[in-house]
Amino acid sequence: MLPDDRQTTSNTQNTQRNFNQPDNRNTTLTSTAGVSPRAETDANALISYNHLTYFLYVVSYFTAGLLWIVPIVMNYLKRGEAQGTWLATHFDWQIKTFWYSIVFFLIGSAIVIFSLGGLGVSIFTESGHVAAGSFGLLALGFGILGITVLWHLYRIVRGWIALVDKRPVP
């Protein structure tokens, strides 16, 4: 092999690696010239897959959260295929968003349930102080739930915009 041939092979490999990783200067994809059709097809399939999972997260709000489990399972199934690419950040982003949302949803729900119990006790004991504290906890619980929903939507929208722009999420 001639020195020029090695350089050409090296440039082709670098181009493939750059396709799979974001350009650090402006976080956009580099040219796909010299990228194997298989690598390009795989990347496009993973991009489409991520669009579907972001869509399912949004649709889950209209199904009372029943579809919430579907995109997380999908993300865990395909996460390994995106390893080492800029798309891996999207899989991780969605997975972290799911788990943090679950944790804060459970915390908010527990506070709401606890405060409703306090309201029930205050009705039977005719205690205004317990009722006042329970209303405060109820407001706190619903506040946590509301912030969790807004934070979840923000993360889904931010991630989806980054995917459309073909750049990683932080």
| Per-residue model confidence (pLDDT) at position 36 | 62
What confidence category does residue 27 fall into, taking pLDDT thresholds of 50, 70 and 90? very low
Query: How high is the pLDDT of residue 65?
Result: 74
Q: How confident is the model at residue 144 (pLDDT cuts 50, 70, 90)?
A: very high
* Residue 37 banded pLDDT, cuts 50, 70, 90: low
- Give residue 127's pLDDT: 65
Q: What is the pLDDT of residues 39-63, one digit of tens each?
A: 677 888 999 999 999 999 999 889 8
High-pLDDT (> 70) share of the chain, %: 73
User: How many angstroms from the chain centroid is the CA of residue 148?
Assistant: 13
pLDDT over threshold 50, residue 13: no
